[in-house]
């Protein structure tokens, strides 16, 4: 790849730790990814990172807003 993707989305598996995903998010930002989502299906929540130090948390009753990508997604539909 010559250019990084705009967004990386990681979904935690039962065998992964949250720290593994956080470490991946840090690496993505070091490689100029603009937004990173960490999806936790068991908690029906998504962390949206704008940078490694700045994130918002959205749950199944929220509408996910990613200002970097200008994306808005009702999470009730995602976690049905």
Q: What string of DSSP letters covers 21-40?
A: HHHHHHHHHHTT-SEEEEEE
Question: Residues 2-24: pLDDT tens digits?
Answer: 889 999 999 999 999 999 999 99
**In angstroms, what is the C-alpha Rg of the chain?**
12
Question: How high is the pLDDT of residue 61?
Answer: 96
Q: State which fold the 7-78 domain adopts.
A: tt1808, chain A (3.90.1570)
Q: pLDDT confidence of 76, banded at 50, 70, 90?
A: very high
With a pLDDT cut of 70, the percent of the chain lying above it is 99
Mean of pLDDT values over 40-59: 95
By three-state DSSP, how is residue 78 classified?
helix
Beta strand 7-11 with 35-40 is parallel
Would the pTM count as exceeding 0.95?
no
**Domain ranges within the chain, ordered by starting residue:** 7-78
Q: How far is CA 37 from its chain centroid?
A: 1
């Amino acid at each position: 790849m010559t250019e990084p993707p705009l967004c990386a989305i990681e979904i935690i598996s039962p065998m992964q730790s949250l720290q593994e995903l956080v470490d991946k998010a840090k690496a993505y930002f070091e490689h100029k990814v603009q937004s990173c989502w960490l999806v936790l299906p068991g908690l029906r929540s998504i962390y949206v990172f704008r940078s490694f130090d700045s994130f918002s948390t959205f749950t199944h009753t929220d509408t996910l807003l990613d200002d970097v990508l200008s994306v808005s997604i009702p999470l009730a539909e995602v976690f049905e």
